[in-house]
Amino acid sequence: MHALDGVTKSDQYRALGLSTFAFTVCFAVWTIFSIIGVKIKGELGLSDTEFGLLVATPVLTGSVSRIFLGVWTEQFGGRIVFPLQMLVTAVAVWLLTSVHTFEIFLLAALGLGLAGGSFIVGVAYVSQWFEKEHQGTALGIFGAGNVGAAVTNFVAPFLVVALGWEGTARVYAIVLAATGVLFFLLSKDDPAQSARKKTGAKAVSAAAQLAPLKNIQVWRFATYYFFVFGGFVALASFLPRYYVGAYNLELTTAGIFAGLYSLPGSVFRALGGWMSDKWGARFVMYLTFIVSLVALFILSYPQTTYTVSGINEPINFHFGISVSVFVGLTVVLGFMMSLGKAAVYKHIPVYYPHHVGAVGGLVGMIGGLGGFFLPIAFGVLLDLTGVWTAPFMLMFLLVAISSVWMHVAIRKMEKRRHPALEQELYLSDTPDQPLAAPKGKAEPFKILDTKHQSAD
């Protein structure tokens, strides 16, 4: 575990506050196509599949870049990497306004997607400022920066009405650039980076940072994140289009309703971190999956009319979800996703305290890829089936498979490693000892004490 000698509460709050604000701005930029994309769709006459690809493209860059940004943050520190990432992204957002064809829009969207990589930069930076017992809560608060999606859903529609989508993009670019400059001026080097500067020690090599990625456990965490984060990003981008198409709402109203989903999907991440600290991350994951299954089952049921042959005449029955019920269910779903996102990242600094950037980067990358592939899949399903609720059917299937796989795999591995636990119902989800720090060349990574170690 890194040393926190000389670190004050003020230092911790400064790092956490600045990182959370910067991440909020970055996330708002990352999801901007959910609003301006609706206008671009109309101007270019895009199909639902093409619209899904446009919305998903920034997520691809934001996902793939996370693993590299995570390693660089471990090596050079968040105070350097975070502002650079924001400034480069701001340039890409500004250049977006000079694009006029779908193909070039996709290229510009790749540059804009770097905003999504800010998450792992902040995780690697913030985790260095807090002791293990409080990292879940701290990272949960930081992760609440996902509220940037709600900011875009609430604010961007009105900016589009007032300034057009081009003017909206320029405002976003200016705010992002200003945030990058302020972060550099107001932040400090994290404790690990400061210690390396004082001692002259070299940063851990990229190979050593990436070595834990061979562990199947890391990929299991990534699978959980594919739904709780990738699904969140996908729905945050898709819902405005859904409300406009399925319920014939105005874009401003659709943005507000989508924001009601994004808001609890963001701000309650801090609660998820606290719950993970108190009751364990695995408990929170089970809760997330079970409630999400119920919500998605109802959301996936299409507007349906039944005709029964009655004694005297046919009897018609109609089942459908009103817009108010639909909004309420999405709020519940967003809330559970926020808890799940915090639970996944509670595991990482506990199991891999010396590899937060690399491990967190991979988990974030896989989760972000969910945000890339799912919107495309949503568009394809709409084009192929013509059923508005088909995307929610896909989400239900994804959660069902993940839930069963998580439970069966964990129980089998625990019973195989610890036969005495055959009759136990409660299984710990945190290690007695974290993964040892790398020394020299990358070696096989093992938990120091596996007496009570779970196979999560």
pLDDT at 440: 52
pLDDT value for 337: 92
| Model pLDDT, residue 296 | 95
Q: Are 350 and 132 in contact (CB under 8 A)?
A: yes
Q: In which residue are the tokens 């974030």 written?
A: 364
Classify 440 in phi/psi space as left (phi over 0), alpha (psi -120 to 50) or beta.
left
DSSP-derived letter for residue 226 is I
| CATH architecture under which domain 9-421 falls | Up-down Bundle (1.20)
Closest residue by Cα to residue 378 from 367, 388, 364, 365? 388
Name which of 209, 215, 180 is nearest 192 in CA terms: 209
User: C-alpha angle 221/222/228, rounded to 5°?
Assistant: 90
pLDDT at 439: 58
Residue 399 makes CB contacts below 8 A (sequence gap 6+) with 227, 289, 292, 293, 296
pLDDT of amino acid 220: 78
Query: Which of 160, 146, 322 has the alpha carbon at shortest distance from 235?
Result: 146
Q: How far apart are CA 391 and CA 384, in angstroms?
A: 11
pTM of structure: 0.65
Residue pLDDT tens, the chain, 456 long: 455 667 788 888 899 999 999 999 998 998 888 788 778 888 888 887 788 788 778 878 888 888 788 878 877 888 899 999 999 999 989 988 887 788 888 888 888 889 988 888 988 888 888 877 777 788 888 887 878 877 887 888 889 888 888 899 999 999 999 999 999 999 888 887 777 777 766 666 556 666 666 677 777 778 888 888 889 888 887 888 889 888 888 888 888 898 888 778 767 877 887 888 788 778 888 999 999 999 999 999 888 877 888 778 888 877 778 899 999 999 999 999 989 988 887 777 777 776 666 777 778 778 878 877 888 888 889 888 888 999 999 999 989 988 887 787 777 766 666 665 555 554 445 455 555 555 554 444 444 444 444 434
Supply the DSSP string of 290-327, one letter for each residue.
Answer: HHHHHHHHHHTPPPEEEEEE-SSSEEEEEE---HHHHH
